Amino acid sequence: MKRVLLFVATNLAVLLVLGIVLSIVMPVLGLDQSSYSGLLFVCAVFGMGGSFISLLMSKWIARNAVGAYVIEKPRTDEERWLLATVARLAKEAGIGTPECGLYVSPEINAFATGANRNNAFIGVSTGLIQQMTPDEAEAVIGHEISHIANGDMVTLTLIQGVLNTFVYFFARIVANIVNRGSNNYMVYFITVMAFQAIFGVLASVIVMWFSRYREFRADAGGAELAGRHKMIAALKRLQSSHQDSELQGQMTAFGINGKKSMAELFMSHPPLEKRIAALQQG
């Protein structure tokens, strides 16, 4: 329930901010929503603006969504090891040391988030600390550090923003064509929602393809930072756990363990056997 309320509240706040921006900017630019240029501008503001506002808020959203607490003064040997490992691998990767937090969950998982490679956040589940060896956990942290170093959060946000823009735009173009000559707003609204859903599914295929591609890169980065045998062992540990990710939204995309799907086209992560094979062949 907390995650749902946080998601709804955040999106309402984003819509409110973007609505205010549009009401100020469009008259200044002389744009009208009834024109294609005006419509595209509105769609770009909501598509790109929503994605980047969410990115800027991602650390706060992620910490609150999973109930993670930031480790500032380590209280246990595990926390001291975690902070030291994150700092060491971040230095090797040439980025600023991310904030690090723990969240209570039995699943083996970790995620990275943040708008800046020098001001990011890594969340680690208690299940990972309890069920993985230090070598395996080090490889997982290296994987998340690689996501940050590669700028994956910003790149995925940019791709999502562009796709959102065109999903909104073309859904309204099609709705205008379908409802030409009719002033029934309800029919127009339903048509827009239907085509946004259809185009959204097609857009998600592109987003998930990129997500799977950069998982292979993050695995390779984790192997370079921590050691190939450690990265392979970590993935095999995930394979034997048979757990699906409990993370939501972009946290799922940047977790070490992703959600499963009947169709690989809609998976945020490649199958573990393919990730292991790629490392073994590399």
Catalytic residue numbers read 144
The DSSP code for 97 is P
> Tokens 């823009």 appear where?
165
Residue type, 139: A
Residue 212, CA atoms < 13 Å, CB-side half-sphere: 21
Q: Roughly how many angstroms between the first and final C-alpha of the chain, as a whole number? A: 43
User: ∠ CA(10), CA(52), CA(30), 5° rounding?
Assistant: 100
Kindly list the distances between the CA atom of residue 105 and the CA atoms of 108, 124, 178, in Å, as whole numbers in the listed order: 8, 9, 48
For residues 247 and 227, give the distance between their C-alpha atoms in angstroms, rounded to a whole number: 26
- Say what the alpha-carbon torsion angle 264, 159, 58, 135 is, to the nearest 10 degrees: 50
For residues 215 and 268, give the distance between their C-alpha atoms in angstroms, rounded to a whole number: 9
Exposure string for 59-94, b = 16+ CB within 10 A, e = fewer: bebbbebbebeebeeeeeebbeebbebbebbbeebe
Decide if 126 contacts 67 (C-beta within 8 A): no
- How many C-beta atoms surround the C-beta of residue 217 within 10 A? 14
